[in-house]
Structure 1
Amino acid sequence: MANAIEAPAITQAEGPTSHTQNQAAGLAKLREDFPPEQIQHLPRLKCGACRDSRTGVCENPRHAKQECKECGNYVSNWHLHLDYVGHAELTNRLLDADPLWDWEPMAVDQHGLPLFDSNGGLWIRLTVCGKTRLGYGDAQGKKGPNAVKEAIGDALRNAAMRFGAALDLWAKSDLREAQTEHAKTAEDDGIVSARPTARQRQAAPKEQPGAARPEKAGESRDQAFARLTEQYRNCWGNQLALLQIRVEGKQLGLSEERVQGPPPESVWTTFDGLLEARIDELKAAPGGDTEGNAA
């Protein structure tokens, strides 16, 4: 009687094989959050005039350059930060997910080198755990060898995002990037702001300085402080708005928080002290008393 031949294990196994389980584990590794020390901050100017200026700063004295304590760059203080992970940190994560990961350009030139498109961008294929996805990167118009490396790194980050790597950072950065693309208006003077226009403020009902204001749902103390700080910077010449912001700051217990005053002195003082001094300054200006009484 002929001996039975045992079928290969792969045809007998039910459910995921060890190979597919390893793939799933590797791809899941890509989606893990990056630790804070591996996240870098790229400054992006919010003011259109600053972006268009050769010096990176416009004539608005409130947009003067200074060293940013968060990103370490000497840049106009009217900027925000786009969070990202660097090339080395991403490469390390790819190696953790799949030691055999690889990438290749979508097209090559006559010399076999990666072919850049007419916009200076590079399309690539990134393969991790046997799966391939596309990515696109560029060097923001820069030239030279470092620009090529920057475009490759940007393309790898973009392709890895399709696998879920640093996806939360991409979402936040896309939102912040959108905040720098609003059209400039005479009222904003190049400042991106969520405050209403003059017409909207005239149509809105007057708010009494001492009236309680509803708290924003889910807003932390730090978020409230950041919001009010942004508001008083945008309303630096509006006595009524500053008075309302000062009152809300007192209601939220933020009066003694330390803030940096406007250029050129840029001295550090308390939140309440800064607003009190500015309100007094506006009251002393011609027509200031009228606005103060209206409040």
Structure 2
Amino acid sequence: MPQGTEAPASTTAEGPTSHTQNQDMEELVSRMERLLEQAPKPTGTYGYTRAEQIAALHKLREPFDQREVRYKPQPYCKSCTSQKTWPKVCERHTEIKCQRCNGQKVTEAHICLKYIGHAEATNRLLNVDPFWDWKPLALDQNSLPQYDGHRGLWIRLTVCGVTRIGYGDATGKDGANAVKEIIGDAIRNAGMRFGMALNLWTSSDLQVLEPGVELAPELAAELGGPTRERKTDNQAAARSNPAAVPTASEKADGAAAGLLLDRLMGQVRDGWNNELILTQVKGEAEKRGVIDEKVQGPTQEWTPFRTLLMVRIAELKQAAPGGNSGNSGQAAA
């Protein structure tokens, strides 16, 4: 038998065989993909992989369309809220019909809070996970949801295999309507733990600010608007008085106050011809401690926020039927 060297298995006298190195690699990859598809999913995730969970839950945090956002009144006057009879309005304030809050009758000493209704929240959950579910944290002796001592309900909300706890109540309601309100409130509250409509649960747009970083003017304009008076430059202050340089905490507080003022000034622009809106803005600005900040009004002149609001409110009262022009100067003082 000849002792010559044999040809490699991958070749013949006619040339390369059909099983080349690339084809072997493609077959290996195909086998791996089939094995991954057949592999069991992680337990306790309802069949979702970790990557699928992250992608789906990220959709929960997408902003809602402005047409889905509603408003409800939130009184800030303790005397008004402590009234025993309806309407809950103290002697220092008057009752108004707030057009933004669906025409509800409420004390003028309130702010209009944005929120998402039960239908909108349910629609978002269904879009993210058609199999989402909620369960009460405890059951009573009749196997019905167990309420706590405040007539509130704790629930577990499960979305894409992730479960988080929420709480709901129906202050001021009773009967069957209260039950539905409690469930809807609990679902929205638990949804907020996933980041759903989280920006609406804050008093201003949720922003992540690093200490010492100021918003660029174009970003401030995009967030809502007006220009507010700039403080002394930090470097110049350091040269003249090192102790005057603000700390990181002070910078963060200043940035938060600036965002709040920007939002309020945006409401002023939208409600420039609405006395009730301006009155509500004035009340919130007083409560949040930004009423004496300087802002740039329609004439592009810097003026205290309080003066801008009071002058405009006086002008609207004067222009209203039965207005008294003699009170304009006093109201603006």
Alignment TM-score, normalising by the size of structure 2: 0.54
Query: For the residues of structure 2 that align with 1:258 and 1:281, how far apart are their CA atoms?
Result: 7
1:124 match: 155
**Contact 1:261–1:274 at 8 Å: present in 2 too?**
no
2:139 match: 108
How many residue pairs end up in the alignment?
224
Query: For the residues of structure 2 that align with 1:247 and 1:22, how far apart are their CA atoms?
Result: 48
Matching of residue 140 in structure 1 with residue 171 in structure 2: yes
2:196 paired residue among 158, 165, 168: 165
1:1-295 matched pairs, under 5 angstroms: 9-10=35-36, 19-53=49-83, 54=85, 55-60=87-92, 63-71=93-101, 72-172=103-203, 214-215=229-230, 220=262, 223=265, 226=268, 251-252=301-302, 259-261=312-314, 266-268=317-319, 277-280=327-330
Secondary structure of the corresponding residue to residue 172 of structure 1: coil
Query: For the residues of structure 2 that align with 1:64 and 1:162, how far apart are their CA atoms?
Result: 37
Query: For the residues of structure 2 that align with 1:258 and 1:275, how far apart are their CA atoms?
Result: 13
Deviations 1:179-238 (A, max 9, x none): xxxxxxxxxxxxxxxxxxxxxxxxxxxxxxxxxx9458676596188499669967xxxx
2:18 match: none
**Contact 1:26–1:96 at 8 Å: present in 2 too?**
no
Give the Å deviation of 1:279. 3.4
Between Structure 1 and Structure 2, whose CA radius of gyration is higher? 2
Query: For the residues of structure 1 that align with 2:281 and 2:141, how far apart are their CA atoms?
Result: 58
Percentage of matched positions with identical amino acids: 42
Secondary structure of the corresponding residue to residue 91 of structure 1: helix
Give the Å deviation of 1:159. 0.6
CA RMSD between the two structures: 4.6
Letter in 1 for 2:117: G
**Contact 1:249–1:255 at 8 Å: present in 2 too?**
no
Query: For the residues of structure 2 that align with 1:29 and 1:171, how far apart are their CA atoms?
Result: 19
Query: For the residues of structure 1 that align with 2:35 and 2:183, how far apart are their CA atoms?
Result: 42
Secondary structure of the corresponding residue to residue 164 of structure 1: coil
Query: For the residues of structure 2 that align with 1:75 and 1:156, how far apart are their CA atoms?
Result: 26
Give the Å deviation of 1:95. 0.2
- Structure 2, gaps ≥5 residues long: 1-27, 40-46, 207-227, 232-257, 273-277, 284-292
Letter in 1 for 2:90: C
**Contact 1:42–1:81 at 8 Å: present in 2 too?**
yes
Give the Å deviation of 1:152. 0.8
**Contact 1:135–1:159 at 8 Å: present in 2 too?**
yes
Letter in 2 for 1:9: L
Letter in 1 for 2:111: L
**Contact 2:279–2:313 at 8 Å: present in 1 too?**
no
**Contact 1:83–1:173 at 8 Å: present in 2 too?**
no
Letter in 2 for 1:223: M
Give the Å deviation of 1:74. 2.1
Deviations 1:162-191 (A, max 9, x none): 11101111122899xxxxxxxxxxxxxxxx
Letter in 2 for 1:10: L
Give the Å deviation of 1:22. 3.0
Change (3 A) 1:30 1:256: closer
2:248 match: none
Letter in 1 for 2:329: I
Query: For the residues of structure 1 that align with 2:185 and 2:332, how far apart are their CA atoms?
Result: 48
Query: For the residues of structure 2 that align with 1:57 and 1:167, how far apart are their CA atoms?
Result: 30
**Contact 1:82–1:173 at 8 Å: present in 2 too?**
no
Which sits farther off after the overlay, 222-231 or 111-120? 222-231
Change (3 A) 1:87 1:221: closer
**Contact 1:258–1:268 at 8 Å: present in 2 too?**
no
Letter in 2 for 1:161: M
